[in-house]
Amino acid sequence: MWTAAALGWLKPHLFWNAAHSHGPRVHTHADPKTLIQAKRLKPRPHAIYQSFLSCYNLRAFSLLRLCHTDSECPAMGGIKAALESTDGTPWLRSCYNALSSSTRIIHIPLVVESRISRSRILGLNMSIEKNKNCSSIEPIDHDHRQASWTDEINNGEITQDVFEVSSTPQAFADCLGTAHLEENGNSLLCPLPSSDPNDPLYWTQPFKFYILGLTTAIPFFSLFLTTGGSLSIQKITIAFSQPLSKVEGLITYPFLCSCVSLIFMPPLSTKFGRRPFYLFGLAALVGACLWAPLATSYDSFFWARLLLGTGHGFFQALAPLTIVDIFFVLERGFAVAVHCALLAIGAVSGMFVIGFLLKYLSYKVPYFVIGGIYVIIFFLVLFTFPEAAFKRDTTSRALAREKKVGIRRLRIFNGIFVDESLTRLVFRPLGFMCFPSVAWSAIVFGCHNGPLAAVNVVTCRIFLGPPYNFQASQLGALFLPTLPFIFLAMYISGPLCERLVRKLTARNNGIFEPEMRLPALLPTFLISPLAFFLFGVVLEYKLHWAWASVALAMFDFSIVGAISVPVAYNLDILKPIASEIIVATFVGKSFITFLMGKRIFAWMELHSPLKVYFTLGAISMVALCPFFVFIFEGKKIRRTAIKWRLIQWMLWSNDREDYEPTIDETIPNSKSRV
């Protein structure tokens, strides 16, 4: 009888017409009678129910009161009763003051954590207004499974009540990538840090950027040897008495090995943590740097280069994954831009440094120098870099955890971080390669990174011979003017893009859409084809070397934007499976790079440089063109794509989810700009 009475009271108030709520809505076609059913409900006077569900337009938490009569205001009466019967907890008092003073939508600090993850219950539009005996909830379960949460607070004590929710899969598509990042001028933290002091999101900003620098330094120096190594082709050809066409494989085949290592490393690091694979990858790079200069045959040197490419592939994925681990949503764009800019600088400075060393020393010396640097980085990672992966679940907020210090903080193995099988983690990227934004990102990345290796090799061929007759050191200096262009691209893809995202988010009632990043790609769209066209003209008509330097600078500018913006866009959409998205993007990029690198050399022997690079410029323009479509239709595209049968079969488990953003008074500095 009490249960029936409670349900009779809950129904008219729990499913109030959502027209009174603010902000964008999630619609459902499910019968409201089947949306929520109480399995066990203990009616007690003055009981407060706090219903918190993760949602794409997070607005407020529902406050309901079970009363003996229906005449009392459920929200105001319930709060008053709780304040009278308890010690007056701050969150209740602040809620009461907010409700009694205005009709605005409010946030109530979280007390009882929801047991529902965002991937299972998505779609809540809820508001509380002054003198309104109502609040609205529209929960949606994307996989038709039942979910439950515990959320009853009775006289300051937490008891358990179980509710079932069932509905349609529409909200999962509606919520994909969308987040509520601003409320009343406050930036909201996303993901929401747990109460565990070991959460990497609590690391200080200087330490986060130290980690970013450390993770970027590894591929930075490997680029010295992978791209800068093209300057040593002539010396290697002489040393091993091999034809130039065969020696060029030392540049292209390491990219293929990077692709292979990318397939297996991110799933393993997702399962077992980042730290062991940082150390393993660094050990491989140190071994390759020692093996290559000591090789006595071309085959031995070739295998050392393959090991170098394999190690480089490790950190192509680990660095972006670490960015996702330690930075908030509104910080990731800048961090990714810094990472990509430093890699571009590594390729440029590698040409200069390696060229200078080769002028006076053997081709073996750079390997010893970079190997020594990797030994230093290995010990820095071993003694200063804690585990960045973190399993952020609902219980971590409720349970007090001890902060790890000393050797406990630097353990190499820290357990298992996800429950999914390795097989599923390995094969999921294959399915998401057909996800439109991921496929587009891989194509853009590959169509710009593929010609990069060719440009380096072709530059060596053209400028080391007549009519330029450059020395190796002079050839490296040819790339120096690209540095200002790289920093400009970093500013556009990083701080300027984040500023644009904040303004668009505020204009959209605090709702963030990943497509808000894409306008920052417009300069790349304009400059990238021009860079190819200009470089082709320089090679065809033997123009002054300064024009080649300008073309290379424009090309490096476009590389930074073409990599950082699409990658950040995909991480915003599919953050829970960031490792798989990185794999899908980088594997696609590596295959395109390998194929283009192999064909460009033969292609240039059959056709003029003007025709080749005009064609590459046209390919670049065509690859970038879809960003206009994604700006205006990206939300519709991802909503449709996530419901494809293949993608649905590849969906991730609940333990891959993070908290939804909110302002929480229990989190230090949560109201500060993120």
Q: Classify residue 182: in a domain, yes or no.
A: no
Does 625 score more than 90 pLDDT? yes
DSSP 273: -
Looking at the DSSP assignment, which residues form a beta bridge with residue 245? none
Q: Classify residue 636: in a domain, yes or no.
A: yes
| Same domain? 413 vs 522 | yes
Query: What whole-number distance in Å separates Cα of residue 99 and Cα of residue 111?
Result: 18
| Same domain? 470 vs 523 | yes
Helix (H, G, I), strand (E, B) or coil at 388: coil
Does 589 score more than 90 pLDDT? no
pTM for this model (two decimals): 0.67
Q: What is the pLDDT of residues 313-322, one digit of tens each?
A: 888 888 888 9
Contacts of 568 (CB under 8 A, 6+ apart): 332, 333, 336, 337, 497, 517
Token output for 447: 């169509």
Does 149 score more than 50 pLDDT? no
| Same domain? 497 vs 544 | yes
Which of 425, 635, 452, 599 lies closest to 535, judged by CA? 452
Does 293 score more than 50 pLDDT? yes
Residue position matching structure tokens 């959320």: 151
Across the range 15-25, mean pLDDT stands at 31
| Same domain? 433 vs 314 | yes
| Same domain? 213 vs 169 | no
| Same domain? 439 vs 498 | yes
- Asked if 213 and 320 count as a contact pair (C-beta separation under 8 A), the reply is no
Q: Classify residue 515: in a domain, yes or no.
A: yes
Token output for 381: 């990672």
The least confident of 247-261, 351-365, 388-402, 467-481 is: 388-402
For residue 273, what are the domain limits? 200-656
- Asked if 652 and 270 count as a contact pair (C-beta separation under 8 A), the reply is no
Q: Classify residue 670: in a domain, yes or no.
A: no
Q: At 269, which CATH number? A: 1.20.1250.20
Q: What is the pLDDT of residues 368-384, one digit of tens each?
A: 999 999 999 999 999 99
Does 151 score more than 70 pLDDT? no
Token output for 85: 């019967």
More confident residue, 6 or 495: 495
| Same domain? 576 vs 456 | yes
Query: What whole-number distance in Å separates Cα of residue 617 and Cα of residue 219?
Result: 27
Domain boundary, last residue among 175, 209, 231: 175
| Same domain? 18 vs 140 | yes
- Give the pLDDT of residue 524: 93
| Same domain? 157 vs 234 | no
- Give the pLDDT of residue 575: 81
Residue position matching structure tokens 């450390």: 214
Q: Classify residue 185: in a domain, yes or no.
A: no
Does 413 score more than 80 pLDDT? yes
Q: What is the pLDDT of residues 160-210, one digit of tens each?
A: 332 223 333 444 445 676 766 555 556 556 676 777 777 888 888 899 999
pLDDT bracket for residue 35 (50, 70, 90): very low
Q: Classify residue 187: in a domain, yes or no.
A: no
Q: Classify residue 75: in a domain, yes or no.
A: yes
Query: What whole-number distance in Å separates Cα of residue 475 and Cα of residue 348?
Result: 11
The residue type at 407:
I
- Give the pLDDT of residue 437: 93
| Same domain? 212 vs 164 | no
Give the DSSP H or E segment for 536. helix 522-541
| Same domain? 236 vs 113 | no
Q: Classify residue 669: in a domain, yes or no.
A: no
| Same domain? 217 vs 101 | no
The structural domain count of the chain equals 2
Token output for 259: 């692709």
